[in-house]
Amino acid sequence: MKCVGFIGWRGMVGSVLIERMIKKKNFDNIIPYFFSTSQIGKSGPILSKNQDINILYNAYDTDILQEMDILVTCYGNDYTKIIYKKLKKKKWKGYWIDASSYLRMKKKSIICLDPINKELIYKGLEKGIKNFIGGNCTVSLMLMALSGLFKKDLIDWISVSTYQAASGGGSKNMCELLEQMGFIYKSIKYDLKNINYKILEIEKKIKNISLSNIIPKENFKCVLFGSLIPWIDKRMNNGQSREEWKGQAETNKILSSKKKIIVDGLCVRIGTFRCHSQSLTIKIKKNISIQEIKQIISNDNRWVKIVPNVYEETIKKLTPINVSGTLNILIGRLRKMNIGSKYISAFTIGDQLLWGAAEPIRRILEIIILNT
């Protein structure tokens, strides 16, 4: 059995990965080792009722890391930058599976999303590729939703606006959103109890506290609760944010497109806890009916579910809170737009910790174990 080292398993992506691996009995086929940058010597995750305690190894100890056949990291770019190079210097020949973006666009890496690019993955394994990197969450979720249209070469371009959850920034960001909520609620809770409360005075109080320096905002750098942040990640030279840049770059890499598909838009952080939503304008290449489009989308994979374009079903199903914690990829608000018969609108939601991060990683690990 292969020795598999897990780094970053305590975080949001890592803990969802461990949960899924336990559910799918993936630990039965490997010898797992758990690492930490901050909890060395403490106990690792509980995988089954009667297990011995897992002691956490030092995630910076390359002597132990190089003993692993496969390393799965859900920690982040900074870790990958340092440790991957060190292991390569030591001539480590194992498989590197990563949720962070540092190695994604490298020539010798494959972005894994096997329902979409299974062939590329198997060809890569045959050729000896050793780096399999999970895609950007919004990109993977968008591809899962529109895979049928991509495979039939029906998409000319996509314009997108995202609505990305606080937890997309990691566990600290999710906690900060909760702290901001508590902070603001505490400051107005007595005003709310007064039956003669004046709502505009409460709103003014909230605004003043939100703009003050006393509210926690170390991670988001501004208040997210009751607000939004139309910028995610660094600035690129063309004015896009890096998150927006990934839309086109990663889509084309995953699909290994011969002709570049244009994907562009704005990425926005909102105060939801889990799930990323995306509002899409899609230019299709042929004038086909919405009915046909729905069929192509829903026939592609078993996770994508169409929500009829009616109010009652939309507010019941097409919401982050409904999709959260599931592998379902919902897509609704499908209709032809006033711009012309080849323009369709769509709204899609997926759990960014599952199909957007942990599930492609879990599945590539399974593929590597079974095929190497």
Nearest residue (CB) to ligand NAP, 249 versus 293: 249
CA angle in degrees (0–180, nearest 5) for 210-172-315: 70
Q: Closest approach of Cβ 95 to ligand NAP, in Å?
A: 18
Range 169-228, binding ligand NAP (CB under 6 A): 170-172
Q: Can you tell me the distance from the alpha carbon of 125 to that of 314, in angstroms, rounded to the nearest whole number? A: 41
3-state secondary structure of 127: helix
Could you tell me how many residues of this chain bind ligand NAP (CB under 6 A)? 27
74 is a site residue for ligand NAP (CB under 6 A): yes
In three-state secondary structure terms, 150 is helix
Question: Can you tell me which of 269, 352, 359, 365 binds ligand NAP, judged by CB under 6 A?
Answer: 352
Binding ligand NAP by CB under 6 A: which of 4, 5, 6, 13? 13
Complex with ligand NAP: residue 12 or 155, whichever CB lies closer = 12
Which of the stretches 3-11, 228-236, 283-291, 331-339 binds ligand NAP when contact is defined by CB under 6 A? 3-11
Catalytic residue among 74, 112, 137, 267: 137
The answer to whether residue 175 is catalytic is no
Map the footprint of ligand NAP across residues 246-285, applying CB under 6 A. none
Q: Which of 59, 249, 329, 361 binds ligand NAP (CB under 6 A)?
A: 59
d(CA 4, CA 43) in angstroms, rounded, equals 17
Contact set for ligand NAP, span 102-141 (CB under 6 A) = 137
DSSP of 203-228: HHHHHHHHHSSSS--TTTSS--TTS-
Rg of the chain over CA atoms, in angstroms?
A: 22
Q: Is 332 in the site for ligand NAP (CB under 6 A)?
A: no
Q: Strand 2-7 to strand 30-36: parallel, antiparallel, or no bridges (unpaired)?
A: parallel
Judged by beta carbon, residue 178 or residue 262, the one nearer ligand NAP is 178
Contact (CB, 8 A) for 17 and 365 = no
**Three-state secondary-structure class, residue 171:** helix
Q: Does 356 bind ligand NAP (CB under 6 A)?
A: yes
Question: For ligand NAP, which residue has the nearest CB?
Answer: 11
The pairing of beta strand 276-284 with beta strand 155-163: antiparallel
Q: By CB under 6 A, is residue 37 in contact with ligand NAP? A: yes
Which of 6, 33, 57, 75 is the binder for ligand NAP (CB under 6 A)?
75
Query: Helices marked H in the chain — which ranges?
Result: 12-23, 62-65, 77-89, 114-127, 137-151, 171-193, 199-211, 242-255, 290-300, 311-317, 320-323, 359-371
Q: How far apart are CA 162 and CA 181, in angstroms?
A: 22
- The residues of the shown chain that bind ligand NAP, judged by CB under 6 A, are 8, 10-14, 36-39, 59, 74-77, 99-100, 137, 167-168, 170-172, 352-353, 356-357
Active site residues: 137, 276
